[in-house]
């Protein structure tokens, strides 16, 4: 089953989803290599977020195939996809507001995910030190006992990134990680993302072109559910089709 | 770093106070008739504690907990009925040795599925396992398909209606609308005497504490925090790598097990089991016990069951036709004014003032404030 010599970590082939006849993603194919940072850009309604939803199992595909390390993700449940090594950050910060920062990170710690595992889960030193380490990375080490509901918008975004980091996924998918942040927060986040995208593959949706230029290995431009252009940032920026539908205005 | 012990100080005090109320205060001030009544109220506390976990923590509102209460109660009633139906006791029947209602319904032999209930160990197992298996089947069917929220509540309510209709319709096997009555002895021990009822009250109290400890363990485990996370952001929990359905099934089954034990203790203390205790109205009342007590608190659920049932008895003794209106009014008042119920009034209003008072009155060097009673 497992293709050991597969050059690609993720193979998306012929991916299609149709909502009542409207094809939000239409026969889309792309491939992500290990350690690659792929940025998906495109105008509103191009299907960027839907692509991530399809990969992580949130939306069921109508047709096509998504293979991650040789495993077909389209046949798996969301939690199984997470365990396979795919992490997802949502566009609006989604953290557990009634729980503390510590508890939010603890729930994401990759241990005790079955019913009895969760019942007997022990908060041992390894867990605590890992949580502290992650909290320091996401600038929240002083706020472990704070309820997530009382964090600022930017801090919630960081916390959610931290919840992904603690899972240590091989493929990290980020949906507009700097949207809605203040300038200062944005700078800190860019620095954080630059640090964490090393040693893993990342798919990022982002509108901020400066930011994209900074992090992207390759860029995929989506338009009406299809690939409009793909390649290095420089190549994409000079593609007349891209300039017409997206960058031009 | 916050320590996460099973029993924080406030919880120890809460458990201790409840133990004093149940094991010392109530037996001291109540006559044996009233004590038996409170024993009956406490059997509903088992259900309410289960609901505090399912609904309060996990956000799964079941309007069919009466089903599980009833299944546990009927299992116990079947055992007691068989023991009461000796050939000597039933000599005047056309078929001696079978329960009287079967004889009235022209049954001539005991149905096969009654046979195992001659055994007390089997019955005790069944009291817990029959509700759990039933909850498991419902849980798998609903939660795996991601049926939740109000749809789940309505479907559980339908189950309560179905079971009531089934019990009433199958009169020959279940005793019909009258239920299973005239229960006498448990392994030869007469359960109708005052002494027996007093002992059963204490057994009930001990079992309730066992259930409370189990609930506390679940609440304080990672699973407890996961339930809260599921209640608020079910979708997100899946992307933290959890199969949400299996956790919902677990907590629903646990609630069913608690309810089954409560039902069995009801049968033992009250001496009968009937479909009126299983259906829609009692199931909704159980949710009200939990809501009044405070659905986030397992101890609150116990007080809720006690207070509402006590009010029910008191008011329906004096104003029988007004009680249902009163109950409805109480529910609306709790939802509108005190969404966290009695437990919320305690933790938000009384406890902070009490702590202030205590810290004012005690020498900080000793730091010993007398636990409030």
Interval A143-179: pLDDT, tens: 999 999 999 988 999 999 999 999 999 999 999 888 8
The answer to whether residue B239 is domain-embedded is yes
The pLDDT of residue B362 is: 62
Q: In a mutagenesis test of the A interface, which of B231, B239, B248, B251 is the best target, namely the one with the most A β-carbons within 10 Å?
A: B239
Share of chain A above pLDDT 70, in %: 97
Interface contacts (A, B; CB < 8 Å): 89
The per-residue pLDDT of chain B, averaged, comes to: 90
Structure tokens at A36: 């690659």
Minimal-distance CA residue of chain B relative to A103: B225
* B30 part of a folded domain: no
Cα B169 to chain center, whole Å? 25
pLDDT tops 50 at residue B213: yes
Contact B246, B58 (CB under 8 A): no
Beta bridge partners of A221: A41, A229
A residues 134..193 contacting B (CB < 8 A): 144-145, 163, 167
Query: Which of B228, B229, B241 shows the shortest C-beta gap to A83?
Result: B241
A65-98 confidence digits (pLDDT tens): 999 998 999 999 999 999 999 999 988 888 999 9
**A246 CA to chain B: closest CA distance, Å?**
31
Model confidence pLDDT, tens digit, residues A21-50: 888 999 999 999 998 999 999 888 888 999
Of the two residues A180 and A236, the one the predictor is more confident about is A236
Host domain of residue B105 = 38-361
Residue with the bigger pLDDT between A236 and B132: it is B132
Res A4 pLDDT > 60: no
At B355 the pLDDT is 82
CA distances, B142 to each of A157, B64, B145, B147, B291 (Å): 33, 14, 5, 5, 24
In a domain, B28, yes or no: no
Percent of chain B with pLDDT over 70: 95
Q: C-alpha angle B186/B187/B189, rounded to 5°?
A: 60
ipTM of the complex: 0.88
SS3 state of residue A147: strand
Band of the pLDDT at B372, cuts 50, 70, 90? very low
Which residue bears the tokens 């994409």? A236
Query: Which range, of A187-191, B136-140, B302-306, averages the lowest pLDDT?
Result: A187-191
Q: A68: how many CB neighbours lie within 10 A of its CB?
A: 22
- Contact present, A208 and A214 (Cβ < 8 Å): no
CB B271 within 8 A of CB B183: yes
Mean pLDDT of B242-268: 97
Q: Is B145 on the interface with A (CB under 8 A)?
A: no
Among A198-207, B17-26, B121-130, the minimum mean pLDDT is found in A198-207
pLDDT for residue B2 is more than 60: no
pLDDT digits over B315-355, tens only? 888 888 888 888 888 888 888 888 888 888 888 888 888 88
Per-residue pLDDT reduced to its tens digit, B14-31: 999 999 999 999 999 999
**Domains of chain A with bracketed CATH:** 10-247 (3.40.50.300)
| CB within 8 Å: B228 and A100 | no
Interface test with B, best of A53, A91, A102, A119 (most B CBs within 10 A): A119
Q: Does B327 touch chain A (CB under 8 A)?
A: no
Looking at the predicted structure, is the pLDDT value of residue A195 above 90? Answer: no
The answer on pLDDT for B371 being more than 50 is no
Residue B367 has pLDDT above 50, yes or no: no
pLDDT for position B330 = 85
- Whether chain B has a CB inside 8 Å of the CB on A100: the answer is yes
Residue B63 lies in a domain: yes
CB B71 within 8 A of CB B263: yes
Buried b (16+ CB within 10 A) or exposed e, B204-243: bbebbbebbebbbebbbbbbbbbbbbbbbbbebbbbbbbb
**Cβ within 8 Å, pair B2-A115:** no
Quick: pLDDT tens for B57-106.
999 999 999 999 999 999 999 999 999 999 998 999 998 999 999 999 99
Q: Per the structure, how many domains does chain B have?
A: 1
Name the pLDDT band for A189 (thresholds 50, 70, 90): confident
Q: How far is CA A214 from CA A32, A51, A52, A142, A194, in A?
A: 18, 23, 21, 29, 9
Cβ of residue A97 closer than 8 Å to a chain B Cβ: yes
pLDDT in the model for residue B4: 55
Distance CA A7, CA A33 (A): 7
Q: Which of B4, B229, B235 sits opposite A99 (nearest CB)?
A: B229
* Phi, psi of A40, deg, nearest 5: -105, 125
- Residue A145, classified by CB atoms within 10 Å of its CB into exposed (0-12), middle (13-18) or buried (19+), is exposed
Q: Tell me the β-bridge partners of A86.
A: A171
C-alpha B289/C-alpha B301 separation (Å) is 7
- Residue A1 or residue B67, greater confidence: B67
The per-residue pLDDT for B291 is 93
| pTM attached to this predicted model | 0.91
pLDDT at B39 over 90: yes
Cβ separation A121–B247 shorter than 8 A: no
Contact present, A24 and A16 (Cβ < 8 Å): no
According to the model, what pLDDT value does residue B240 have? 92
For the sheet containing A171-175, what is the strand order?
A86-89, A171-175, A201-205, A37-41, A218-223, A226-231
pLDDT value, residue B259: 97
Cross-chain Cβ contact A82/B240 below 8 Å: yes
Across the interface, do B229 and A96 touch by the CB < 8 Å criterion? yes
In a domain, B372, yes or no: no
């Amino acid at each position: 089953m497992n293709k050991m010599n597969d050059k690609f970590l993720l193979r998306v082939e012929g991916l299609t989803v149709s909502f009542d006849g409207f094809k939000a993603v239409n026969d889309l194919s792309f491939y992500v290599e290990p350690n690659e940072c792929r940025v998906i850009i495109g105008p509103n309604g191009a299907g960027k977020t839907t692509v991530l939803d399809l990969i992580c199992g949130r939306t069921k595909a109508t047709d096509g195939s998504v293979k991650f390390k040789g495993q077909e993700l389209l046949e798996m449940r969301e939690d199984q996809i997470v365990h396979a090594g795919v992490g997802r950050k949502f566009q609006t910060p989604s953290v557990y507001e009634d729980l503390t920062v510590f508890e939010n990170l603890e729930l994401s710690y990759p241990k005790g995910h079955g019913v009895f595992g969760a019942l007997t889960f022990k908060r041992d030193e390894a867990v605590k030190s890992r949580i502290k380490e992650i909290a320091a990375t996401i600038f929240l080490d002083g706020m472990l006992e704070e309820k997530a509901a009382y964090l600022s918008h930017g801090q919630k975004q960081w916390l959610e990134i931290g919840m992904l980091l603690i899972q240590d996924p091989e493929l990290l998918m980020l949906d507009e990680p700097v949207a809605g942040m203040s300038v200062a927060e944005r700078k800190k986040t860019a620095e954080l993302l630059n640090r964490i995208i090393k040693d893993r593959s990342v798919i990022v949706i982002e509108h901020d072109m400066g930011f994209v230029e900074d992090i992207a290995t390759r860029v995929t431009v989506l338009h009406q559910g299809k690939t409009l252009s793909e390649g290095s940032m420089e190549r994409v920026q000079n593609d007349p089709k891209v300039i017409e539908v997206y960058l031009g205005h | 770093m916050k320590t996460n012990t099973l029993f924080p100080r406030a919880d120890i005090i809460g458990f201790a106070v409840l133990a004093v109320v149940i094991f010392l205060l109530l037996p001291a001030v109540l006559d044996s008739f009233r004590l038996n009544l409170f024993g009956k109220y406490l059997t509903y506390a088992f259900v309410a504690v289960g609901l505090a976990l399912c609904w309060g923590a996990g956000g799964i509102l079941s309007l069919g907990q009466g089903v599980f209460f009833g299944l546990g109660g009927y299992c116990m009633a079947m055992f007691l009925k068989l023991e009461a139906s000796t050939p000597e006791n039933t000599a005047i029947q056309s078929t001696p040795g079978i329960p009287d209602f079967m004889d009235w319904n022209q049954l001539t032999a005991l149905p096969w599925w009654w046979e195992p209930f001659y055994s007390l160990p089997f019955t005790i197992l069944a009291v817990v396992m029959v509700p759990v298996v039933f909850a498991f089947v419902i849980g798998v069917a609903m939660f795996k398909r991601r049926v939740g929220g109000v749809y789940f509540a309505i479907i559980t309510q339908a189950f309560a209606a179905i079971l009531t209709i089934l019990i009433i319709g199958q009169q020959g096997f279940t005793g019909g609308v009258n239920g299973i009555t005239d229960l006498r002895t448990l392994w030869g021990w007469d359960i109708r005497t005052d002494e027996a009822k007093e002992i059963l009250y204490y057994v009930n109290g001990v079992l309730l504490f066992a259930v409370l400890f189990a609930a506390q363990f679940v609440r304080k485990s990672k699973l407890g925090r996961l339930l809260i996370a599921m209640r608020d952001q079910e979708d997100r929990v899946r992307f933290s790598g959890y199969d949400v359905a299996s956790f919902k099934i677990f907590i629903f089954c646990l609630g069913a097990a608690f309810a089954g034990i409560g039902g069995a203790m009801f049968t033992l203390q009250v001496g009968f089991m009937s479909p009126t205790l299983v259906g829609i109205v009692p199931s909704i009342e159980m949710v009200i016990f939990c809501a009044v007590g405070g659905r986030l608190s397992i101890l609150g659920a116990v007080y809720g069951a006690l207070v509402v049932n006590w009010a029910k008895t008191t008011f329906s003794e004096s104003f029988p036709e007004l009680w249902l209106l009163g109950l409805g009014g109480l529910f609306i008042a709790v939802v509108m004014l005190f969404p966290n119920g009695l437990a919320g009034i305690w933790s938000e209003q009384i406890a902070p003032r009490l702590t202030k008072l205590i810290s004012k009155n005690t020498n900080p060097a000793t730091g010993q404030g007398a636990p409030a009673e």
